[in-house]
Chains A and B, each alone.
Chain A
Amino acid sequence: MSDNDGHKIIDGSLTDILNSTEQNIYSVTFKNNFELNNNSLFENVDIIEHGEKTIKVNLNEIQPQYFIKSISKEFEITEFRKINPSLHQLFLNLVQSK
């Protein structure tokens, strides 16, 4: 026999919920075209999207300050921005983790 047992997972201000979601994903834009070329600076991160000048990267356990410091030695960065999950992504994460 099955039970739906619908219950509350999360509630509150949508902005606060999205801001508080732990996700170490950043968008990085470089001045010039970006080529990875087996660069060791990116060994412990996951590049999720790779455009000509912009990448989206999951830093996993690496602190963003450390990452910027490391890559700025080789690349000129024009933008570095934290990506918060969308409600769609949050919904998928919560549903799939159950």
Chain B
Amino acid sequence: MLEIRNISKIFGAKTILHNLSFNVPKGKIYGLIGPNGAGKTTTLRIILNILPSSSGEVLFKNKKFDYDFLNSTGYLPEERGLYPKSKVKKILTYLGKLKGLSSKECENKTQYWLERLELTQYSNYLLEELSKGNQQKVQFISAILHDPEILILDEPFSGFDPVNQTIFRDIVEELKSEKYIILSTHLMDLAESLCDEICLIMMAIKLLTVL
């Protein structure tokens, strides 16, 4: 179980998250949904240790989820961040090695996923030469290449046309049995068709009046 326990985040005088708790079970797709600004991405970043929480903790299999677990984690961020001047196959191989894969494993898994997502012909293209949807596919491969136990997907459908949304949805469904998957999205129809469990977070706008 991936447990998020009472996490809060305060930036200066601003409370972004207040005492948020939820449990992500294995083998389910867990949807984190909410309006813009509710703190979904902040929550994901806290789980991943990209941001420290102001209070609370994240536990994985009853242990504090810290840097030791990062190789067990795949993250597809909302803002795509792969180097645009990198070649597709080269950057995937590089990232796979960073996540602990051997050269051979990187080669085989990269080949598999490029074929699966119909990107083989673009193996030696620069990322910036690809369409937005294909760049998205490459970023997705980088998140799953090392077969992480925890997969965190932030707005994974943005940039995909309906055909690719279906392909992507099938892959996520296929992967879920052995993984802990958190998916954050604004697309409610897709969330409804994919998610087994959800957590809806919302902001409570408080106005402090100075008299």
Contact = CB atoms under 8 A, between A and B. Distances in A.
Interface of A: 1-14, 17, 86-88, 91, 94-95, 98
Interface of A is mostly: mixed
Given A6-B42, A7-B202, A11-B198, A87 B192 contact: yes
A98 B202 contact: yes
B49 to A, nearest CB: 19
Interface residues of B, number: 38
A12 B208 CA distance: 33
B11 to A, nearest CB: 9
Contacts of A12: 197-198
B34 A6 contact: yes
B201 A13 contact: no
Contact of A6 (B188, B201, B208): B201
Nearest to B33: A91
Interface stretch (B17-25, B125-133, B157-165): B17-25
A14 B37 contact: no
Interface of B: 13-22, 31, 33-35, 37-40, 42-43, 188-189, 191-192, 195-208
A96 B191 CA distance: 19
Contacts of A94: 200, 202
B199 A8 contact: yes
Contacts of B21: 8
A9 B39 CA distance: 13
A13 B33 CA distance: 13
A86 B193 CA distance: 10
B197 A2 contact: no
Contacts of A6: 16-18, 20, 34, 37-40, 42-43, 201-203
Contact of A5 (B33, B43, B203): B203
